[in-house]
Amino acid sequence: MLLINRTDIATKVQISDSVYADTLNEYIEQAQFLDMQDLLGVEFYNDILRNKTDANYVALLDGGTYEISGLFYTNVGLKTPIIYYTNSRYKRFGSQQDTAFGLIEKSNEFSDRVSKSEKQVTYKLNQQMAFKYWRNVEAFLNRKSADYPLWNKGNCNSRRQTFRVTPIR
């Protein structure tokens, strides 16, 4: 079950209309399962998937302004970090195609291929943006924890600061 779709992605980042839905959905699923599940915790993540149309989860996913003790805050919405985690994967791996002859990258005479190092930089920048947006959502969850009883029950890893990517040799 996916929490975002192509339309959600297009509200935040540029994405080609020609990207196959199955390919894009694969990256969305990876972002949700590999990135967000660790940050949210398994139980909370699965509860969101099962109950994403509940009013509290709609507020969590879509974001908005909320008030705590007379102060107003903005929640960017859980969809936002999912979009950027998805975009990082799509930008890094999206041009690769699996064929009967192995993994290839499509190109033609009218375009230049983006270098692997440029893709890696884009991947890392999108991962970092996703995590910054996640911090905003995390603050919302901490402030509104009474509305989300499964949040922060000791089974999440929201303290990840940075990550290091090393090449496979």
Spell out the residues 6+ positions from residue 53 whose beta carbon is closer than 8 angstroms to its own: none
Q: Which residue has the higher pLDDT, 118 or 47?
A: 47
Alpha-carbon gap, residue 54 to 33, rounded angstroms: 21
Confidence of residue 105 (pLDDT cuts 50, 70, 90): low
Where are the domains positioned within the chain? 6-96+118-147
Q: What is the pTM of this model?
A: 0.81
Confidence of residue 100 (pLDDT cuts 50, 70, 90): low
Alpha-carbon gap, residue 72 to 87, rounded angstroms: 30
Alpha-carbon gap, residue 20 to 147, rounded angstroms: 37
Judge whether residue 143 has pLDDT over 70: yes
Q: Which residue has the higher pLDDT, 63 or 88?
A: 63
Alpha-carbon gap, residue 79 to 81, rounded angstroms: 6
Confidence of residue 3 (pLDDT cuts 50, 70, 90): very high
